[in-house]
Amino acid sequence: MNWAPVIERYENELTQNVIPFWREHCVDREFGGYFTMLDRDGSVYDTTKYMWMQWRVVYMFAELSRGRFGEGHPEYLQLAKDGFEFLYRHGRTEDGSYYFALNRKGVPAAAPHSIFSDCFAAMGAAALFAAAGEERYREEARSAMHSYIRRLDNPKGKWNKLLPGTPTRLNLGSYMILANLGSVMKECLGSDEFDAETDRAVRTVMRMFHHPELKVIFENVNPDGSFDLESCEGRFVNPGHGLESMWFVLQYAERIGDEALIRQAAGFIDELFRFGTDPRYGGIFYFMDALGRPHLELQHDMKLWWPHNEAAIASLYAFKLTGEERFLNHFRTVDEWMWSHFPDPEYGEWFGYLDRRGEANNLLKGGKWKGFFHLPRCLVKCADLMRAISR
């Protein structure tokens, strides 16, 4: 396969389309932090500052400032630093966790009920340390990591609404993110501090969440590793989440040189592509039920940008590490589908939310859950992987 034009397509999209869109529209020069609720044309339709989205912008500009993508590295670094100052000043609670949202001026607007706020703070601060080398960024990354790990046993804390009548579950998200966080910390901070946690998270994901007969990764399992096929929660499958977690595992397995783990994760990626692909209109479903029973979320059959971004990374990663043709085919399929459906030819960037048929039903470029993260990360990682493959 001739990779050069594909690499060029991914890099150009990043440098000539996605970065310029966010650089132009997302910076709040009056109050600090970022606007992430951006309409199709980049105009701001809400000024709430959601912590996941804010820290992801810090992370992405810091990462880009370290890289080789176009001009403006000092500018990216400054954008990341400015965001950090706003979030460090306003976003932190007394115990070092992070509020879920601030208003435009930085007044806390939603309680610190999500440990993923801490997760993305850790990623953002770590990337900033790697880019700028200032000790306070490393300290904040370590502090946020410790907050994340401390909260893992009871992620929602006092905002947990569940009572004893709801079974306790292990949730894929908490573990798969830790597998990636560990890699980010290793790479950005260069320390062994989180190696044991990372290994434990990776092993937990691989040992407990994969259903061997149904051949798919579950979102929620019983603490003893059994599966609950009687409830909606127990049968919940999120193929994009599974694919994302599997490239986190491949990343880890590659680093430690674990061939068996590579083979296992690659196998799960193949299964997830088979399970999650819509046979009627193509693309990857958002949410599914492991047994095909009704899904309670109305948007279950929609096609979102990020599962496709993660699927592209996962398939390329598996192809790079195994050389097996089936992963190249998966990449070709998802590459074709996402590039022909998500990019907005008129105003740039990508649509995030398509109906099952592939038609955009919401034209926003940024929202409560879509920001400057999955798409640029996909473009960077895929370009890197393709370059490695073509060597």
316 and 10 Cβ atoms separated by less than 8 Å: no
- In the complex, the smallest distance separating the C-beta of residue 37 from a second copy, rounded to whole angstroms, is 7
Measured in whole angstroms, the distance separating CA 176 from the mean position of its chain's CA atoms is: 10
Tell me how far, at minimum, the Cβ of 167 lies from a second copy, in Å.
Answer: 8
Contact by Cβ (8 Å): 131, 62: yes
In the bound state with a second copy, the residue whose beta carbon lies nearer, of 193 and 355, is: 355
Whole-angstrom distance, CA of residue 10 vs CA of residue 36: 23
Quickly tell me which residue has 């954008």 as its tokens. Answer: 79
Residue 97 identity (one-letter amino acid): S
Sites of contact with a second copy (CB under 8 A): 37, 39-40, 45-48, 99-103, 105-111, 113, 158-159, 161-166, 230-232, 293-296, 298-302, 353, 355-356, 361-364, 367-368
- Taking the complex as a whole, the smallest distance from the CB of residue 145 to a second copy amounts, in Å, to 24
Cβ-based nearer residue to a second copy, 27 or 111? 111
Nearest to 375 by CA among 15, 1, 2: 15
Nearer to a second copy, 195 or 230 (CB): 230
Angle ∠(47,17,184) on CA atoms, nearest 5: 75
Smallest distance, a second copy to C-beta of residue 286, A: 8
**Which residues, 6 or more positions from 27, have their beta carbon under 8 angstroms from its beta carbon?**
34, 35, 79, 82
Minimum CB distance to a second copy smaller for 14 or for 51: 51
Q: Identify residue 79 by its one-letter amino acid code.
A: L
CB of 107 to a second copy, least distance (A): 4
Which lies closer to a second copy via its Cβ, residue 182 or residue 276?
Answer: 276
